[in-house]
Structure 1
Amino acid sequence: MRSRVSFERELAGKLYQMGWAVMRAPASGAAAKRYLYPDLVALKKGRAVAIEVKTTKDKKYIYLERRQYEILKEWEERGGADAWVAVKVLYSGWSFYPLSSLKEAGKSFRLDLEGGLSLESFDALYSVKYTLTEFAKGIVEV
């Protein structure tokens, strides 16, 4: 089976080909323990996303460790990045879930894998300068 890092690199490459600026965070070492890094940080059209990458054979649900959830939450709060979980179902495509999709489950967080955005739909969200949510909230004026 492929390593976790290879899936992170695969997704980073796909996003880069779609016009994203992408950085894969360090996985180990002193700096990774001292600071909170998501697996990927990506930028497009002035928007930032923090992504935790997961893989599974099962299409039902996955779990995130509390620390992984807190890392994404930190990037949302400190940096204003949109926090996402990208899931590669083996022998299938990528699906994207916003952090708000996770439900607390004891010491971890559970993500039901129903719905989710395809890679193409995720990219389309960020292919415009501002999202519909920003227009609806009155953040952006036409």
Structure 2
Amino acid sequence: MTLVSGLGIQAERDLVHRFWSEGFAVLRAPASGGGTDLPRPDLIVGSVERQRFFVLEIKTIKRKVLYLQAEQIEGLIEFANRLGFEPVLGVKFKWQGKGFLFLKVPEQLEQVRDSANYKITLAEACRVGQSFGELIGAYRQEKVEDYLKEKE
């Protein structure tokens, strides 16, 4: 295991404990991308009490842009659809010192020009992404843009 993959695994484990402490059932799929052609998300999460059910792909990166292969996103969507869960990307821009931002897949991702692949920039993730608390329904943080639209 490389240091980079070790950091990603630790981030997944930390999220497992956060979801569990908030009353969610959670399952981490070790080696989610390896050893099979079948789609397999990093985390499967759900709470009947909160009526929230997710399959998550988790990424930690040091750059300002995350690129994702179309096959990975399509696999996440297919897995989520088979369960009736919501497909979500959790991304942590490590050098920013912030926590995870969670994005709806594929709606909140940008299609790479002349490609089937996707990307998300730090700026866009901050603009449209949800915090952990927002994702689990603990609170709703109103975005400035949404607030201004309501006032018009």
Asked if TM exceeds 0.5, the reply is yes
Count of residue pairs brought into register by the alignment: 124
* Runs of 5+ unmatched residues, structure 1: 127-142
**Match in the other structure for 2:110:** 103
Structure 2 counterpart of 1:96, which letter? F
CA drift of 1:107 comes to 4.7
Name 1:27's counterpart in structure 2.
31
SS of equivalent to 1:48: strand
SS of the aligned residue for 1:55 comes to strand
Q: Does 1:50 align with 2:55?
A: yes
Identity of aligned residues (%): 30
CA distance in 1: counterparts of 2:133 and 2:103, whole angstroms: 13
| Greater RCO structure (CA 8 Å; 6+ sep) | 1
1:121 correspondence with 2:124: no
Name 1:13's counterpart in structure 2.
17
Structure 2: gaps of 5 or more residues: 140-152
1:86 paired with 2:86, answer no
Q: Which structure has the highest strand share of the two?
A: 1
RMSD after superposition: 2.4
Query: Which consecutive segments of 4 or more residues in structure 1 shift more than 3 A?
Result: none
